[in-house]
Amino acid sequence: MINVIWGTAREKPESSKSLADVLSSIEGLTGYLYLGYPVIGSPTGPMKFDALFVSDMAGLVGFDLVEGTEVGDFQARQDEIASMLDVRLKPYPGLKERRNLKFEIRVVTYAPAKQTLPNVEDPYFIANKSSLDEIIRGFNWPCDAEVFMQLLAAVQVVTSIRAGKLKREPQKPHSRGARLKRIEESIANLDQHQSQAVIETVEGVQRIRGLAGSGKTIVLALKVAYLHAQNPDWRIAVTFNTRSLKEQFRRLINNFTIEQTGMEPDWDNIDILNAWGAPGEKERDGIYHKYCRTQQIDFLDFSSAKRIFGDGKEFSGACDHALKAKADPTPIYDLMLVDEAQDLPPEFLQLCYRFLKDPKRLVYAYDELQSLTGTSVLPPEELFGTDDTGNAYVMLNTEEGATPKQDIILEKCYRNSRPLLATAHALGFGIYREKGLVQFFDQDNLWLDVGYVVEDGTLRGGETVTLARTPNSSPPFLEEHSDPNDLIQFHRFDNAKEQTDFLVKSIIHDIGEEELRPEDIVVINPNPLTTQREVGPARQLLFSEGHINSELAGVSTSADVFSKSGSVTFTGIFRAKGNEAGMVYIINAQDSFSGWNKSATALMRNRLFTAITRSKAWVRILGVGSGMDGLINEWNTLRNNNYKLTFRYPTQDEKQELWLINKAPSGPKRAQYQKLEMQRDLLLQAVERGDIDADHMISELQKLKKPQTRK
C-alpha cells in the first residue's frame, strides 16, 4: 500500500494526482509518496521538490513532474534533484558507507500527458502513465529494514527540533538530569504520523486533534515553516490563547526554516500574535485587535467588553461585535493557524475565518480535555456557520483515504508516560470517582483515536470495559527511565505550611542532588485566582533556604515569557498551557476533587489533567485535606489496575447528564446552556473561596434588573 502525503502541489496539481494514482495502482508496491516535499536549501535559494517516493521495495526515488508535454532540459533537473538529495542525506552516518550512500538515488521525470518519450539511458529515467509501472519495478532497495527506517526518518527531517535549548552535562549517570537528557534525545524526531500532519496541505479548513504531548504545537510551527518555504509570498498568521507560546512558536519556526532552507524566514510575512491583543507597540498586537484596526471597527479592551457583555463573555462578545460591525470584511491572510482552540470562543474562530482570503486556509488544533474555561469546540458545521440557504460553510471530509486529510488525529503521546497519561485521564473523567463519571467522549471511537485499545469488554452502554494504552501510543522509553513509583507521586498534608515545606525541600534536592536545572522544574497552582498568594511563601523559602531563584510566570516575567534560565517557574494553570518541564509539582490539588456539580467538577478536573500533562518525566501532586484523600483513593485504584481504565460504559441517556467532549453536531443552544451553567458554577465557587464579595455581586446584579413598569 502507498501512503500518500499531500503537501502543497498547487503548481503541478494534475501530474501530482496522476503520480499518486499510478503508484497506488501498482500491485504489491509499498512506501511513502510525498507530494510537494521536501524543501532543501541551496546556494541559489530553497529548492522545492515536486515529489519524493521512499519505498522498502523501490528505494529512494525523486520525481521531476511535467504538467504539460514540454519536458525541457529534464536531465539537468534530474542532476540537481539527485545532487540535493545526496547533500541532504550524507550527514546521516547510518545511511553511508565511507564516502558514499549505501543505496542509489534515482530520479524519474514523470510526464503523464506526453505520449512519445525521448530515449534515455541510466541514470536518467522518463515515464508517462503507461511506462511508470515498468520503471518502478526495475528499482530495488538493497539495504536492510533498519537502514530504511533511518532513511525514512532523514526524509522527515525533524531532527533536533525538540531537544533542550542548552546542552546538558550531567555528572551522575543515573541522576534525574542524566535521565532527562536521554529522554530529550529520544523524542527529538517526529514520527511518521506527525510528519504527515505537518506536510498535509488543505485548500480550506483543516482540524488537528490530539492528546496533550502529542505534538500539536510543534506540528503547527513546522507547518508554518514548510508552507512559508513553499509559498514565501503568503501572509501567514499564528495565534493562540497562552501568550507564553509566542517565543516558542518563533523559535521553532525560525529553527526549522533555517534547517530546511538555509535561510531565516521572512518575518514581514509571518505574524505570531495572541488572540486578543491591544493598541500600542507591535508586540502587543493580537488577531482581534488587528482585525478591528484593518477593518476600521471600534476595538474593545477587556474592561470595556466586560462592562458591555458581562463577566465571562468578554472575548466572545468583543469578537461577535466585530463580526457584526462589518458584513464584508477585507481579508488579508493567505493562511491562519490556531493553537489551543478549546480555550477560544467560536466567535474568534469565525473572525479568523473571515480574515482569510479564498480558499480560506485555516488550521486549528485542540484537545478538549485541556479546556480551562468550560468551553467545548463545536463541530465545524456549527462552528463556522451557514449561508442564507442553510448550507454549512465548512464540512470536513473525515473519511479514511480522503486526500488531502482535513481531519487529523495525533494518537501517540511523546511527552507523557503511560502511567502519567492514564492518571490524567482517570482523574479527568472521574473513572474511579466514587460518585461516578463527570465527563465523557460523545463519540465512542475517540477512545481509540487517542491511543487506547479495548482490552476487555466493549464500548457499549451498560457494559463493563477495560481500556489500556499500548507501546504504540505510549512509547515505553517514556516510563522505563525511572522506577514506576518515582514517575508519579501523590502527597497529602494537613495544612498549607506542611505542603510548602515539602515542596521547597524537594526542589532543593532536585537541583542539588539530582542535577535538574531550575528551569526544568515547574510548580503549578490549578486555581488561577489564587496563584500569586499561594506561591509566595514557597518562593521566599526557596530563596532563603536554598538560594534558588524563581519566577512567577507573567507577573515577574514578561507576559510572553514562561520561564527563565536559572529560575524555577511558578505559575497558574492558564500560563502553564502549551509548556512542559521535566519535573512538575502541582500544589493545592484538593481544589480539583469536586465542584458544585458535575460540570464544575469537570472544569476543575480538566485543570488537573492539564497540569499533569505538562510533565516530560516526573509529577508530584500535592494537596491538603479530605479532597486530597479522595484523589489519592482514585489514583490507588488506577495504580492497582496497572494504569488501565476499567469502568461501566455509560448509556446514551447517561451521557446526556455528563459534560460531553468532542460532541457530534447537535445544535448551539445546548452548548450555550452548558457554557452558562459552567460560568455560574465558577462564580459560586469564587464566592465560597472569598475571591468575590457576594453582597457586592448581588448589588451589581440588581443594577442590571429592568425596572418594573407600573400599570
Closest CA to 246 of 216, 265, 273, 227: 273
In a domain, 181, yes or no: no
Burial classification of residue 337, based on how many CB atoms lie within 10 Å of its CB (0-12 exposed, 13-18 middle, 19 or more buried): buried
Res. 370: pLDDT tops 80? no
547 and 627 both lie in a single domain? yes
Give the angle subtended at the CA of 132 by the CAs of 131 and 134, to the nearest 5°.
70
Res. 369: pLDDT tops 70? no
Helices (H), 563-667: 573-576, 598-612, 626-640, 652-655
392 and 429 both lie in a single domain? no
Among 392, 410, 428, the domain boundary falls at 410
Res. 46: pLDDT tops 90? no
pLDDT number for residue 280 = 84
Contact by Cβ (8 Å): 615, 415: yes
Cα separation of 317 and 307, whole Å?
11
Cα separation of 573 and 426, whole Å?
19
How are beta strands 645-648 and 464-469 bridged, if at all? antiparallel
In a domain, 255, yes or no: yes
**Mean pLDDT throughout 617-642?**
97
582 and 464 both lie in a single domain? yes
Least confident of 59-63, 322-326, 351-355, 689-693: 689-693
Cell of 276: 486578543
Cα separation of 668 and 691, whole Å?
31
134 and 239 both lie in a single domain? no
Cα separation of 468 and 292, whole Å?
48
Least confident of 125-139, 156-170, 245-259, 597-611: 156-170
In a domain, 124, yes or no: yes
Cell of 45: 535559494
Res. 146: pLDDT tops 80? yes
314 and 386 both lie in a single domain? yes
* 3 state DSSP class of 155: helix
pLDDT number for residue 462 = 95
113 and 225 both lie in a single domain? no
pLDDT number for residue 185 = 75
Looking up residue 643, the CATH number of its domain turns out to be 3.40.50.300
pLDDT number for residue 503 = 98
Most confident residue range from 145-159, 636-650, 688-702: 636-650
pLDDT number for residue 182 = 87
Helix pair 668-689, 598-612: axis angle to 10 deg? 80
Question: Which of the pair, 645 or 684, is modelled with greater confidence?
Answer: 645
Domain count for the chain, please give it: 4
150 and 200 both lie in a single domain? no
DSSP 321: H
Among 360, 391, 410, the domain boundary falls at 410
Question: Which of the pair, 248 or 498, is modelled with greater confidence?
Answer: 498
228 and 289 both lie in a single domain? yes
* 3 state DSSP class of 390: coil
In a domain, 332, yes or no: yes
In a domain, 47, yes or no: yes
451's torsion region: left (phi>0), alpha (psi -120 to 50) or beta?
left
Closest CA to 567 of 554, 582, 548, 585: 548
Model confidence band, residue 576 (pLDDT cutoffs 50, 70, 90): confident
Cell of 440: 465523557
**Mean pLDDT throughout 690-696?**
58
Cα separation of 487 and 183, whole Å?
13
DSSP 361: E
Res. 678: pLDDT tops 50? no
pLDDT number for residue 634 = 97
* Model confidence pLDDT, tens digit, residues 578-589: 789 999 999 999
59 and 119 both lie in a single domain? yes
Which element (helix H / strand E) includes 223? helix 216-230
Count of C-beta atoms within a 10 Å radius of residue 65: 23
249 and 104 both lie in a single domain? no
- CA count, 13 A, side-chain hemisphere, 343: 24
In a domain, 447, yes or no: yes
From residue 701, how far is each of 271, 301, 306, 696 by CA, in Å?
41, 22, 14, 9
**Mean pLDDT throughout 393-411?**
80
* Model confidence pLDDT, tens digit, residues 421-470: 999 999 999 999 999 999 998 888 888 878 899 999 999 999 999 999 99
474 and 362 both lie in a single domain? no
pLDDT number for residue 699 = 61
Domain around 40? 2-156
pLDDT-above-90 percentage for the chain: 62
In a domain, 711, yes or no: no
Which residues on neighbouring strands pair with residue 2, listed in sequence order?
A: 31
Cell of 101: 550512500
Contact by Cβ (8 Å): 568, 549: yes
Question: Which of the pair, 516 or 396, is modelled with greater confidence?
Answer: 516
Among 385, 410, 435, the domain boundary falls at 410
* Model confidence pLDDT, tens digit, residues 193-247: 677 888 899 999 999 988 777 888 889 998 999 999 999 999 999 999 888 788 8
Least confident of 188-197, 247-256, 416-425, 610-619: 188-197
Looking up residue 30, the CATH number of its domain turns out to be 3.40.1350
pLDDT number for residue 670 = 40
In a domain, 161, yes or no: no
* Model confidence pLDDT, tens digit, residues 270-288: 999 999 999 988 888 999 9
Terminal-to-terminal C-alpha distance of the chain: 79
pLDDT number for residue 667 = 43
598 and 634 both lie in a single domain? yes
Mean pLDDT of the chain: 87
pLDDT number for residue 288 = 97
Q: Which amino acid, residue 48?
A: K
